[in-house]
Structures are given as C-alpha cells and as structure tokens.
Amino acid sequence: MASKHFKYVIAGGGVSAGYAAREFVKLGLNAGELAIISKEAVAPYERPALSKAYLFPQGSARLPGFHVCVGSGGERQLPEWYTEKGIELILSTEIVKADLPSKTLTTAAGTTFTYDNLIIATGSTVIKLSDFGVQGADANNIFYLREIDDADKLVAAIKAKKNGTAVIVGGGYIGLELGAALKMNDLDVTMVYPEPWCMPRLFTSGIAAFYEGYYANKGIKIIKGTVAVGFDSDANGDVTSVKLKDGRVLDADIVVVGVGGRPLTTLFKGQVEEEKGGIKTDAFFKTSVPGVYAVGDVATFPLKLYNELRRVEHVDHARKSAEQAVKAIKANEEGKQIEEYDYLPYFYSRAFNLSWQFYGDNVGDTVLFGDNDPTSASPKFGSYWIKDGKVVGVFLEAGSPEENKAIAKVAKLQPSVSDLEQLKSEGLAFASKF
C-alpha cells in the first residue's frame, strides 16, 4: 500500500486545522511539508455557521462563503489557497489507525502517512441516543449536527416536511440554536430537556428565564424535566412520534438531538496521556508523546488563569490553540521560547435576533443586571459571577462590540467587589469603568 511522508501532519480538517495551516504559512512553510487529512469532503470551514446561517430559510450561508478564517475576520482559505501554499489537503479520508511510536497514520483505504510532527485536531463527535439504548432512535429523520453532511440532510428534511412538526431533544447549544432555526423555517417546534432550565452548564436560572420566555413568545413549546425514551416510526421507517419518560407522546416529522459531544480521542487511546476526557497537553499543546500535539476540542490543557486543566469545546479556543501549537513547533525548531498559553474562556451564541457573549469562569455567586424581560422591545441584560470577592465571569446579551470588549476585560482583570447590591445597580456601567 502507498505511503507518504510529511514534516507536519494535521489529523482532522476542521476549525483548528484551518487556523493551524494559516499559522504555518505565516511563520514559513515550504511546499510539500504539510498535509491535512480530513474525513470531511470539504476544506476547513467555520463550523458555527452550520447551526445558524446555514439553516436560514432565506439568504442561507453556503460554502465557499464560510471557509476559515472568515469567522475571525481573516482571509478566506478556499481549496486553491492550500494548493498555492503547497499544502496537501487530503479530503474524504478517514484515519482508522494511529501508531504513535512509529509515527504512522493509516487511512480507511489502507494508505499510510508518516510524519515528524503530528497535530491531533479530530474535534468531537455527537453523543447519540442509540449510545444509551433509546428505543427506535435509528428511525429516519432523527438528526444530529456536527458536520456539513449532517446539515445538508437536515436542510433536505426541512424542505420535505414543510410546515411540519419538529421535536428538539436537548436544551444546550444545539437545542437552543436549532430550536430557533427550525422555528424560522416555520416548523411547529417543541423542545425537551431534563434540567429545570436550558443551558444549565452556563446559564443561571435568571438568564435562562429570559431565553425560555423569548422562545415561548416565538411559539416554541418547552417541556422540561423529562427525556426522550423512545420513538415510533411508520412503515417507511420515518419517525412519527417521540415518547417521553413522563408518559407524554409528541408528534414529530423531524427530530433534532443535541445531547452533548464527545472528543474524538479513540485512535490514540493507550498511546498518549489523557485527562478529563481529552488528550493531556502542556501550555504549548504538546502531548506526552514527543512530536505530537493536540488542539481544539480534544485537548485538555492548563488554563493558566484558573490554575487548572480544562477542555474547551468552543471555536475561539480551537483557533487560538491551533495557532499556539504551530508557534511552539516552529519555536522548537529554531531553539526559541514562546509564551505559555494564557487563555480567557470565551463562548457565544446567536439565535433569532439574539446574541450573547460570555467571558471567564461561571463559578461562585451571581448578580443578574439589566432588562431581562423577554417581552421588552430591546432587552439587554447580563450576569456577573463573583468568587472570593472578585468578578471572574461576565455574560452579556445584546452587547455592542465595545461593551463586549469591556466585559472581556473585566473577566481577565478580575476586579474586587464588596457590595453585590451595588454591582447589580451599576450593571454594565461597572464593566465599562475598566
């Protein structure tokens, strides 16, 4: 079988891979040195578009419009860009085996690739309801969303089931963004999730109350405190209804499931140190195996600001960790030192006309401020998280670019606060002082 050697190989062709390629080019790359191996059929793109503009009923985003690095205001890297830079983009190619001691990757077609340096950028996969044995979960028109192929299947179903009924299982990022997208497509939408409020891994009850109220006003039905335990389908195998644990049965032409992700580390199991479900790295994204780096969703890295190892499943970190790893590889070759990764967590989401940003850490006491009435003409509100007398995290809905910059600064500076009542009354003005 064919074998090919590259100085640098990136396993995976998503967000991190695209930003890593740009950094390699910036720092100096010779033609033929870098290969990106991706199971997807398209060049790296900004994955967040898939749950937002890709699903718009009008003016929807399509490739090549959102190839990296447009998401952060950079130049768009079309497939030709890789050719021009002498980067081998090996698409529709799944790596099925990784042997780190011999520095060899094997693809499904049996081709082998060897490397001097490997960047693991395989991202996450979806957790499926069939993984925990939910009855009937393999029926047609039950969708998950991770890659562009998934989005295309969903778009086709939205067209085929015009004015139909959709059930969203899960109240996290996918649930909230897809609930909005399907409603915008005029489907009758019901969301189901087990927790007392949506997005509990970030939202406080006060934050969630706004979004739940806003969604309800848009006509979305929300069922909390229960889960999907089974699905019925017709003679064609198409889903017809969702059975809930509390006994209710919901009609469904389309089901979208967003019950979490799982980092794709299986290929490397037992060959590299792991931590908190990801591949353990240092502040340069170097793993326990020399010459092997891990970035993006799969990396468990030292979050210097909180003196803790963390894994982050968001696009800003995917971009920045990729750039850091490439800088580290190049510095290593030149015998130079670079600064440690010093990351300020940044998450965001957009749905309907809403848009929020969060910076920092969501631990400690919380202070909700502003107008979080979902019926307001222009709601604008936020929350501070306060730990050990310091502001450590800030959330803001409907912030201007300057206001978002201000909350980021506060989360990084961690100013002391003694009077939470005063913080509440100052609201956003507190952040704008810094």
User: Which parts of this chain interact with ligand NAD (CB under 6 A)?
Assistant: 51, 124, 169-175, 177, 192-195, 227-228, 258-261, 313-314, 347, 349
| Among the residue ranges 44-52, 78-86, 184-192, 204-212, the one whose residues contact ligand FDA (CB under 6 A) | 44-52
Long-range contacts of range 97-105, CB-CB < 8 Å, 24 or more positions apart? 97/267, 98/11, 98/267, 98/268, 98/271, 99/271, 100/268, 100/271, 100/272, 100/289, 100/292, 101/271, 103/291, 105/9, 105/11, 105/37
Residue 172 binds: one of ligand FDA, ligand NAD, none (C-beta under 5 to 8 A by kind): ligand NAD
121 binds ligand FDA (CB under 6 A): yes
Number of residues that this document lists for the chain: 434
In the bound state with ligand FDA, the residue whose beta carbon lies nearer, of 280 and 314, is 314
Smallest separation, CB 348 to ligand NAD (Å): 6
- Of 8, 100, 123, 326, the one binding ligand FDA by CB under 6 A: 123
Q: Which residues of 4-20 are buried (b: 16+ CB within 10 A; e: fewer)?
A: eebbbbbbbbbbbbbbb
Sign of dihedral through CA atoms 349, 120, 97, 289?
negative
Residue 12 binds: one of ligand NAD, ligand FDA, none (C-beta under 5 to 8 A by kind): ligand FDA
39 binds ligand FDA (CB under 6 A): yes
What is the rounded end-to-end Cα distance, in angstroms, of the chain?
A: 61
Nearest to 329 by CA among 290, 271, 279, 297: 290
Angle at 197 (CA atoms; ends 260, 224), nearest 5 degrees: 85
In the bound state with ligand NAD, the residue whose beta carbon lies nearer, of 158 and 257, is 257
Q: Are 300 and 280 in contact (CB under 8 A)?
A: yes
In the bound state with ligand FDA, the residue whose beta carbon lies nearer, of 23 and 40, is 40
Q: What is the DSSP annotation of 240-253? A: EEEEETTS-EEE-S
Close Cβ partners of 342 (under 8 Å, ≥ 6 residues apart): 304, 305
Q: What is the DSSP annotation of 270-333? A: TTS-EETTEEE--TT-B-SSTTEEE-GGGEEEEEGGGTEEEE--SHHHHHHHHHHHHHHHHHHH
The verdict on whether omega for the bond into residue 374 sits within 30 degrees of 0, i.e. cis, is no
In the bound state with ligand NAD, the residue whose beta carbon lies nearer, of 175 and 370, is 175
- Of 6, 341, 347, 385, the one binding ligand FDA by CB under 6 A: 347
95 binds ligand FDA (CB under 6 A): yes
- Of 22, 47, 85, 310, the one binding ligand FDA by CB under 6 A: 47
- Of 6, 8, 9, 15, the one binding ligand FDA by CB under 6 A: 15
Smallest separation, CB 151 to ligand FDA (Å): 7
| Among the residue ranges 221-229, 270-278, 343-351, 370-378, the one whose residues contact ligand FDA (CB under 6 A) | 343-351
- The interface with ligand FDA within residues 55-94 (CB under 6 A) comprises 94
In the bound state with ligand FDA, the residue whose beta carbon lies nearer, of 47 and 183, is 47
360 binds ligand FDA (CB under 6 A): no
Residue 169 binds: one of ligand NAD, ligand FDA, none (C-beta under 5 to 8 A by kind): ligand NAD
Q: Taking phi first (over 0 means left), then psi (-120 to 50 degrees means alpha), and beta for anything else, what does residue 138 get? A: alpha
Smallest separation, CB 232 to ligand FDA (Å): 27
- The interface with ligand FDA within residues 190-249 (CB under 6 A) comprises none
38 binds ligand FDA (CB under 6 A): yes
Residue 170 binds: one of ligand NAD, ligand FDA, none (C-beta under 5 to 8 A by kind): ligand NAD
Q: Are 24 and 131 in contact (CB under 8 A)?
A: no
Residue whose C-beta lies closest to ligand FDA: 14
**By the criterion CB under 6 A, which residues form the site for ligand FDA?**
12-17, 37-40, 47-48, 50-51, 94-95, 121-124, 145-147, 264, 267, 296-297, 313-316, 318, 347-349
